[in-house]
């Protein structure tokens, strides 16, 4: 059997294109060329075959349309052969196609189409909250409440004539902090207001925000005043390995010209035997590390006290930090805010404490932060 004959046989006998090419490679280059050409020719014949079958088997009771994916497939083939995409672009397109495929398979499995979806409710505060018996009960409560409010809104908009929104017409997503209890009552209480704010045609940017929020499972709470508990300790991760550039740039940026932080030869002559990381940089890093856990919603920092540098920090060391809530009280002059005080400790990679300070911040109460007011 010649390579051309083997290639023809493989192309006709095997269904999957990649398997055709793999099998043909075992017989040589001539076999691969023949098998690939014949297999792709068979694939292209699907286009006229689809059109012909659509004409002959047209259902007189329904409108017969050519599937849009056929045109999309042809366009993708043309773009892939005519344009030279970078590796980054190819990777991005592969990720996008995978996401669309997963979404399509989900909709097929759940028997969902775009006409049946009436609303999508996203909770971005708690993750894994729709699991187990309690999760199902919570979801049932929200589904019935949301369906009722949507039906009422439709009825008012159309002067009493509207379809009834069913719970199966709704989609739910939940992501956020892992391990926190799901606030069913809190969400249920704001649903009427959320429904009233809905528009017939939402800005497409809203859907981008929804997509982003679903993808951000967060192990760190963006805490409001009520969520702080005295005695709680937040471990701030990741840590930060300090480089020579970090130390020199910060030192000179703040106009600190002490040679102990920028001159290696000077450092060798000191009791430390090398340069030290400048202290304000250590403190700044510790503050920055604590923001997502402690002060993501802060109105204002009220001050730092008891700043202590307890052990040298060197270039190449890795700094970690943790904060303990040591005090909290409501503001006397600002009823929507409270004052939270934490003690933050910095440690190196060996667990040795290198610095500490006490910080007080003005924290908004739940629902009173800027993010809540401007839907940030």
pLDDT score for 277: 96
* Global confidence as pTM: 0.47
pLDDT of residue 162: 61
Spatial contact of 48 and 20, defined as CB atoms under 8 Å apart: no
What percent of the chain has a predicted confidence (pLDDT) above 90? 31
- pLDDT the model gives residue 260: 94
Whether 260 contacts 273, CB under 8 Å: no
Give yes or no for a contact between 364 and 295, defined as CB atoms under 8 angstroms apart: no
Edge-first strand order for the sheet with 233-241 is 233-241, 318-330, 337-347, 353-364, 300-309
Q: What gap in Å lies between CA 28 and CA 179, rounded to an integer?
A: 58
Longest dimension (CA), the chain: 95
Q: What is the CA radius of gyration of the chain?
A: 31
Check residue 192 and give its pLDDT: 87
Q: Rounded to whole angstroms, how far apart are CA atoms 85 and 240?
A: 36
- Count of H-run helices and E-run strands, the chain: 13, 9
Q: What is the pLDDT of residue 194?
A: 82
Q: What is the mean predicted confidence (pLDDT) over 14-41?
A: 82
**34, exposed or middle or buried, with CB in 10 Å at 0-12, 13-18, 19+?**
buried
Q: What is the pLDDT of residue 207?
A: 58
Q: How many CB atoms lie within 10 A of CB 75?
A: 10
Closest CA to 293 of 330, 322, 329, 327: 322
Average pLDDT over residues 78-103: 75
Cα–Cα distance between 25 and 32 in angstroms, integer?
A: 6
Q: Are 355 and 283 in contact (CB under 8 A)?
A: yes
The pLDDT, as a whole number, for residue 211 is 59
Position 108 pLDDT exceeds 60: yes
| Burial class of residue 271 (count of CB atoms within 10 Å of its CB; 0-12, 13-18, 19+) | exposed
- Cα angle vertex 264, ends 258, 270, to 5°? 70
Please answer whether residues 227 and 234 qualify as being in contact, where contact means their C-beta atoms are separated by less than 8 angstroms: no
Question: Rounded to whole angstroms, how far apart are CA atoms 79 and 98?
Answer: 18
* The predicted structure's pLDDT at residue 101: 72
Residue 353 pairs in a beta bridge with: 347
In whole angstroms, give the CA distance from residue 8 to residue 231.
Answer: 75
Domains of the chain by start residue, with CATH: 119-214 (no CATH), 225-373 (3.10.129.10)
Q: What is the mean pLDDT of residues 103-121?
A: 70
- Residue 201 pLDDT > 70, yes or no? no
Q: Is the pLDDT of residue 256 over 90?
A: yes
The 10s digit of each residue's pLDDT in 279-305 is: 999 999 999 999 988 988 899 999 999
Confidence band, pLDDT 50/70/90 cuts, at residue 123:
confident
User: Omega before 238 cis (within 30°)?
Assistant: yes
And the tokens for 375?
Answer: 């839907």
Residue 158's Cα: distance from chain center in Å? 38
| Closest residue by Cα to residue 175 from 218, 211, 239 | 218
Q: Which two tokens stand for residue 57?
A: 């088997």
pLDDT digits (tens, 9 = 90+) for 133-154: 777 888 888 889 888 888 887 7
| Greater model confidence, 273 or 208 | 273
Report the pLDDT value the prediction gives residue 176, as an integer from 0 to 100.
Answer: 66
Across the range 49-73, mean pLDDT stands at 69
SS (H, E, C) 223-284: CCHHHCCCCCEEEEEEEEECCHHHHHHHHHHCCCCCHHHCCHHHHHCCCCCCCCCCHHHHHH
- Mean pLDDT estimate for the chain: 81
- 313, 277 Cβ separation under 8 angstroms: yes
Q: What is the pLDDT of residues 355-376, one digit of tens each?
A: 999 999 999 998 788 877 776 6
Task: Answer for the pair 223, 234: CB distance below 8 angstroms, yes or no.
Answer: no
Query: What tokens does 154 get?
Result: 């439709």
């Amino acid at each position: 059997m010649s390579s051309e004959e083997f290639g023809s046989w493989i192309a006709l006998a095997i269904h999957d294109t990649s398997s055709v090419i793999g099998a043909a490679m075992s017989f040589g280059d001539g076999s691969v060329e023949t098998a690939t050409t014949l297999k792709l020719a068979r694939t292209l014949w699907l286009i006229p075959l689809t059109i012909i079958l659509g004409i002959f088997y047209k259902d007189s009771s329904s409108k017969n349309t050519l599937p849009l994916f056929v045109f999309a497939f042809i366009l993708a083939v043309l773009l892939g052969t005519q344009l030279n995409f970078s590796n980054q672009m190819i990777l991005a397109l592969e990720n996008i196609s995978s996401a669309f495929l997963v979404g399509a398979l989900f909709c097929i499995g759940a028997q969902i189409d775009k006409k049946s979806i009436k609303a999508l409710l996203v909770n971005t505060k708690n993750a894994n909250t729709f699991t187990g018996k309690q999760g199902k009960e919570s979801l049932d409560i929200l589904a019935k409440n949301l369906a009722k409010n949507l039906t009422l809104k439709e009825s008012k908009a159309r002067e009493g004539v509207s379809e009834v929104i069913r719970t199966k017409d709704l989609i739910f997503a939940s992501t956020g902090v892992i391990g926190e209890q799901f606030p069913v009552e809190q969400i249920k209480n704001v649903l009427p207001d959320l429904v009233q704010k809905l528009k017939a045609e939402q800005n497409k940017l809203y859907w981008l925000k929804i997509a982003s929020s679903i993808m951000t499972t967060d192990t760190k709470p963006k805490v409001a005043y009520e969520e702080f508990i005295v005695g709680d300790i937040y471990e701030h991760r990741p840590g930060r390995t300090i480089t020579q550039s970090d130390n020199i740039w910060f030192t000179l940026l703040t106009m600190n010209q002490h040679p102990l932080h920028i001159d290696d030869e000077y450092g060798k002559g000191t009791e430390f035997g090398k340069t030290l990381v400048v202290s304000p940089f250590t403190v700044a890093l510790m503050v920055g590390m604590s923001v997502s856990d402690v002060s993501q919603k802060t109105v204002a920092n009220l001050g730092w006290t008891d700043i202590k540098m307890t052990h040298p920090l060197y270039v190449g060391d890795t700094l970690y930090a943790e904060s303990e809530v040591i005090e909290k009280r409501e503001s006397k002059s600002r009823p929507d805010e409270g004052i939270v005080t934490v003690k933050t400790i910095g440690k190196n990679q060996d667990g040795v404490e290198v610095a500490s300070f006490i910080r007080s911040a003005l924290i908004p109460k739940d629902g009173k932060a800027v993010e809540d007011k401007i839907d940030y």
